[in-house]
Amino acid sequence: MRRAPAAILLAVLFASLLPLGAFAQAAGGTPTASAGGTPTAGPAAANAGNLPVPFLDFNVRTARNNKEVVLSVQLLLLLTVLAIAPSILILTTCFLRIAIVFDFIRRALSLNTSPPNQVMMGLALFLTLFIMWPTFTTIYQNSLKPFGDGKIGVEEMFTGAEKPLRTFMFNQMGNDSDSIRLFMSMRGLQKPNTRADVPTYVLIPAFVIHEMTVAFKIGILLFIPFIIIDMVVASTLMSMGMIMLPPVMISTPFKLILFVLVNGWGMLAEQIVRSFK
Model confidence pLDDT, tens digit, residues 182-216: 888 888 888 878 888 888 888 888 999 999 999 99
At 227 the pLDDT is: 87
Name residue 266's amino acid: G
Q: Looking at the domain assignment, is residue 35 inside a domain?
A: no
Q: Looking at the domain assignment, is residue 152 inside a domain?
A: yes
114-134 in b/e burial notation, b at 16+ Cβ within 10 A?
A: eeeeeebbebbbebbeebbee
Q: How far apart are CA 123 and CA 125, in angstroms?
A: 5
Over residues 37-86, the pLDDT tens digits come to 444 444 444 454 555 666 655 666 666 677 766 777 777 777 887 788 78
Q: Looking at the domain assignment, is residue 227 inside a domain?
A: no
Q: Which residues pair with 33 in a beta bridge?
A: 39
Q: Looking at the domain assignment, is residue 93 inside a domain?
A: yes
Judge if pTM exceeds 0.75: no
- Coil, helix or strand for 92? coil
Domain that holds residue 178: 66-218
Q: Looking at the domain assignment, is residue 44 inside a domain?
A: no
Q: Looking at the domain assignment, is residue 236 inside a domain?
A: no
Q: Is the Cβ–Cβ distance between 207 and 169 less than 8 Å?
A: yes
At 9 the pLDDT is: 45
With 60 as the cut, is the pLDDT of residue 2 above it? no
At 225 the pLDDT is: 87
Q: Looking at the domain assignment, is residue 13 inside a domain?
A: no
Q: How far apart are CA 72 and CA 69, in angstroms?
A: 5
Q: Is the Cβ–Cβ distance between 28 and 47 less than 8 Å?
A: yes
Q: Looking at the domain assignment, is residue 43 inside a domain?
A: no
Q: Can you tell me the mean pLDDT for 162-172?
A: 88
Number of compact structural domains in the chain: 1
Q: Is the Cβ–Cβ distance between 128 and 243 less than 8 Å?
A: no
